[in-house]
Structure 1
Amino acid sequence: MGGTGKGVGSAAADGVGSTLLEILNVKVVGSGDKVVVLSHGFGTDQSAWNRIVPFLQRDHRIVLYDLVCAGSVNPDHFDFRRYTTLDAYVDDLLLILDTLRINRCFFVGHSVSAMIGILATIRRPDLFLKLILLGASPRFLNDWEYHGGFEQAKIERVLGAMEANYDAWVRGFAPLSVGADVPAAVREFSRTLFNMRPDISLFVSRTIFNSDLRGVLCLVRVPCCIVQTARDDTVPLSVVSYLKAHLGGRTTVEILNTEGHLPHLSAPALLAPVLRRALSR
Structure 2
Amino acid sequence: VADMRGCLVDHPRIAEVADAIADAASALGVVPDDGAAGDLRYVWLKTDGERVLATLITRSAESRAPELAARVAHLAAVAWSVQPSSGNAIRGGEARPLTGPRALEVALGDRRTSVGPLGFLQPNPDVAGRAYEALVRDAEGELASGAIALDLYAGAGVTTAMLRERFAEVVPCEAYPESAAALGVPPEEAAPFVARWVGRAVDLVVANPPRTGLGPEVCAALARLAPARLHIMSCDADTLARDLDELASAFVLERVVAFDTLPETPHLELVAHLSARR
The TM-score, its normalising length taken from structure 2, stands at 0.33
Larger Rg: 2
TM-score normalised by the chain length of structure 1: 0.32
Higher relative contact order, structure no. (Cα contacts within 8 Å, ≥ 6 residues apart): 1
Q: Which has the higher strand share?
A: 2
In terms of fraction of residues, the more helix-rich structure is 1
